[in-house]
Each structure stands twice: as C-alpha cells, then as structure tokens.
Amino acid sequence: MNFSSNEKNKNLNRKNSSSKTNPSNNKAVVLLSGGLDSTTCLYQAIEDGKEIQALSFDYGQRHKIELSYAKKVTRKLGIPHTIQKLKPELFLGSSLTQKSLQVPKNSLRKEEIPNTYVPGRNILFLSFAVSLAEGTGSDSIYIGVNSMDYSGYPDCRPEFIRMFEMAIQLGTKKGSQGPSIKILTPLQNLSKKEIVLLGNRLKVPFHLTFSCYDPKNGKACGKCDACLLRKKGFQETGVSEK
C-alpha cells in the first residue's frame, strides 16, 4: 500500500484504539461508500494498523456521487480501491434505487423502517467482502453500520452481524480450517455526534465525504435523513466539515 509521505507518517504515529478492532492479521477489507460513517471506519482501520483493500459498490443508487468521494479518499491515502458494479434490478423496492419512490424529507422520527432501506444490500455487500477477504488472506472486514441512529435498518443490527459471522465461519475454507474472518463494526454503538468526534480525532478529511440520499447537480439536498443526521452531528460537536 503506497501512502503519501505525510499520510504515512501520520498513520505510523497513530496507536490502536481498541482490541475489538485489532485481530491478529494486519490485512482488512473496508466497505467504503464515500459517506461520513464508512470513511471514518476506513480511518479507524488505518489507525488499527491494517493493510487495507477498500471495496465500494455501484448499484444504480441515486446518490452515486458518494463513489467519487470514495475515490478521492483512497487516492489521497494510496489505498487499493475496487468499485464493483451491480445491476440495479437486484435492488428494487427502495427510494435509493427507484426514482418512482420519493426519499423522505424533513423528519428523523420514524416508527417503521424507512423506504431508504435497500433490500438485501448489506447481505450482498458483506458476501462480496468475504470473498475478497478470503482471497487476499485478510482476517477482518470493516463496515460502518451503527444501530444508534433513528433508522434501525435490520441489516445494521448487532444480531445480524453476529449471525453473518457465524455464516462466514461455517461457509468458508478459512472458517472451517482456522480462525474465521471477523466483521468489525467500530461505529456500532456510536451516535452521529460521537462518529464526528471520532472522525475528528482520526483526522478524517470531512470535506472528502458526502452524505445525501437525494443529491441534485452534485449538491446535497439538505433535507433527507442522511443530510439531517450529518448536520446534527456536526452542530452538536462544533467540528467543522471543511
């Protein structure tokens, strides 16, 4: 992995923050959307001393602009980055993939799972990550899910992650012959405020992240849940996005 000299020096000076995100092997796959959470997760993996392969997906999402930010960050860091293209037809029933459905605006209080939930998305993303991790000899996968925000997406819950880890152990050569691939979720119990604070400590370039479900002409709408949560996190911390 070829970091720039400045980034390399910064990374060498960082210390591992938690045994929970530091398994034995130093190789890891990081699921990277280009948003605030996944980019903070990427920088946590760097602090943990990982040799990283970043993995992103183009699945016809209306906020595909995030991928350009993922590219900018990985280029800045000199990290290998794969963007896997998937057919949009695999992801029906979500306002993030179907223009006929409206993205909810101006409200964070939800009784039900919002229509921004993409059926099976994290199941597929993690499956691709497992294949890449096993093929590259990586012992861990980082994913920026967090269950403390309003949404409560089923595939972001700790129970889902635990069950998926069991599937990895039972369904892979690596899992059947030795230590299995771990799914690391350093943001799992953090609020958006706490994620911003963590990102600030890790020197995340917030200006190279993008969080909006319904961008127009390359700009965030400012009204969707992703925009409101991001704004709330920065307002509560006083940290600058620039």
Residues annotated within the binding site for Zn(2+) are 212, 221, 224, 227
Residue 153: DSSP 8-state: -
Annotated binding residues, written as ranges, equal: 32-42, 212, 221, 224, 227
R_g over Cα of the chain: 17
Q: What is the DSSP letter of 184?
A: E
Q: Maximum distance among all alpha carbons in the chain?
A: 50
Which of 197, 206, 223, 216 minimizes the C-alpha distance to 73?
A: 206
- DSSP H/E element including 29: strand 27-31
Binding residues for ATP: 32-42
Find where tokens 């699945």 sit: 59
- Assign residue 39 a region (left: φ > 0; alpha: ψ between -120 and 50; beta: otherwise): alpha
Residue 14, Ramachandran bin (φ over 0: left; ψ between -120 and 50: alpha; else beta)? beta
Q: Sign of the CA dihedral 145, 146, 147, 153?
A: negative
Cβ 215 vs Cβ 63: under 8 Å? yes
Cα angle 233-196-1, degrees, rounded to a multiple of 5 = 145
Residues near 96 by Cβ (< 8 Å), separated by ≥ 6?
A: 61, 62, 63, 103, 116, 118, 213
